[in-house]
């Protein structure tokens, strides 16, 4: 059995409004400080119905997992994410169920009846957004996203590549806004590509709900000097894919994502950026952006 919780809270992440049906959960929502800037209002794109108790579906075929944090199952036409499974995290499990498409989902909390229903803890919302964006020509990337005078720039790299270090350097510049220092959303909108900050920040703690049209992409690597080299074609696609969170469990979503990334690198200049952790890299990036305007 499950008990539906009434009421509504709305977040906007990556230009996507997510509404939670729930009342009496404000303390749970408010406890996640990284989300505070993302609270919003308006008509939702996704509705999440919160339930106390176990979901009505069980079992199914395990399709993909990321042990011990989560696993993805298919049960006939229903898709299920088991997050913080009981065998690894007793009492913390939550189950995300897609049975009506990507824009209406159910989130169950199977633990004891007195447990807090906190939908913001763990990767639940990230998994929801990965699934939704996979159907809407969008993707979450391991990247630092910034704007310089309103122009979006993406610094892409895996853990340890220097995203948080670079975010701290840019954070001291008056004409720069940091959207994210770890996870940035890319979306295609109206024939252009846009980047958005997310609440899922890295060590530097930058998280903004704002977005900007993407003007340039830089692939990060540490080095003894600062240098920039233009890269093109399939190499850029593969390097972006390495640093994204695509819906591997969804063949249609993967196909849309690969098509989008191919279109992205054709439309937006991509570069290798080797850098040292000082202000020289900022000057070099600014010079490169200026040359784009003049070309």
pLDDT, one tens digit per residue, over 169-195 is 999 999 999 999 999 999 999 899 999
**Structural domain span for residue 260:** 138-294
Give the confidence band of 156 by pLDDT, cuts at 50, 70, 90.
Answer: very high
Give me the number of domains the chain comprises.
2
Q: Are the C-beta atoms of 247 and 131 separated by less than 8 Å?
A: yes
Instruction: Looking at the structure, tell me whether residues 125 and 168 fall in a common domain.
Output: no
The CATH number for 277's domain is: 3.90.228.20
Instruction: Looking at the structure, tell me whether residues 48 and 111 fall in a common domain.
Output: yes
Instruction: Looking at the structure, tell me whether residues 142 and 260 fall in a common domain.
Output: yes
Instruction: Looking at the structure, tell me whether residues 192 and 210 fall in a common domain.
Output: yes
pLDDT tens-digit series, residues 209-236: 999 999 999 999 988 899 999 998 889 9
Instruction: Looking at the structure, tell me whether residues 95 and 154 fall in a common domain.
Output: no
Tokens 């591997």 belong to which residue?
A: 248
Q: Are the C-beta atoms of 166 and 218 separated by less than 8 Å?
A: no
Q: Domain boundary at 134, 150, 176, which?
A: 134
Instruction: Looking at the structure, tell me whether residues 149 and 226 fall in a common domain.
Output: yes
Q: Domain boundary at 90, 118, 134, which?
A: 134
* Structure tokens that stand for 162 in this block: 């220097």
Instruction: Looking at the structure, tell me whether residues 184 and 91 fall in a common domain.
Output: no
Instruction: Looking at the structure, tell me whether residues 188 and 264 fall in a common domain.
Output: yes
Instruction: Looking at the structure, tell me whether residues 227 and 258 fall in a common domain.
Output: yes
């Amino acid at each position: 059995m499950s008990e539906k919780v009434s009421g509504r809270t709305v977040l906007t992440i990556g230009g996507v409004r997510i509404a939670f049906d729930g009342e009496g959960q404000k303390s749970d929502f408010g406890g996640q400080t990284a989300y505070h800037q993302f609270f919003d209002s308006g008509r939702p794109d996704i509705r999440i119905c919160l339930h106390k108790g176990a979901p009505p579906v069980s079992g199914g075929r395990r399709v993909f997992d990321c042990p011990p944090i989560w696993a993805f199952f298919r049960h006939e036409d229903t898709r299920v994410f088991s997050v913080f499974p009981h065998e690894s995290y007793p009492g913390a499990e939550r189950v995300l169920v897609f049975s009506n498409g990507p824009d209406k989902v159910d989130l169950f909390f199977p633990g004891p009846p007195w447990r807090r229903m906190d939908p913001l803890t763990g990767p639940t919302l990230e998994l929801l957004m990965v699934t939704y964006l996979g159907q809407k020509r969008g993707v979450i990337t391991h990247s630092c996203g910034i704007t310089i005078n309103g122009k979006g720039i993406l610094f892409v790299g895996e853990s340890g590549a220097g995203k948080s270090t670079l975010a701290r350097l840019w954070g001291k510049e008056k004409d720069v806004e940091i959207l994210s220092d770890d996870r940035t959303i890319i979306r295609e909108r109206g024939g252009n590509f846009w980047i958005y900050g997310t609440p899922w920040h890295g060590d530097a703690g930058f998280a903004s709900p704002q977005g900007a049209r993407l003007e340039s992409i830089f692939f990060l690597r540490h080095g003894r000097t600062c240098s920039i080299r233009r890269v093109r074609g399939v190499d850029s696609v593969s390097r972006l894919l390495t640093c994204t969170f695509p819906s591997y469990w969804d063949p249609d979503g993967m196909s849309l994502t690969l098509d989008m990334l191919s279109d992205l690198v054709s439309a937006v200049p991509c570069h290798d950026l080797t850098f040292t952790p000082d202000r020289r890299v900022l000057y070099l990036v600014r010079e490169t952006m200026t040359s784009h305007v003049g070309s």
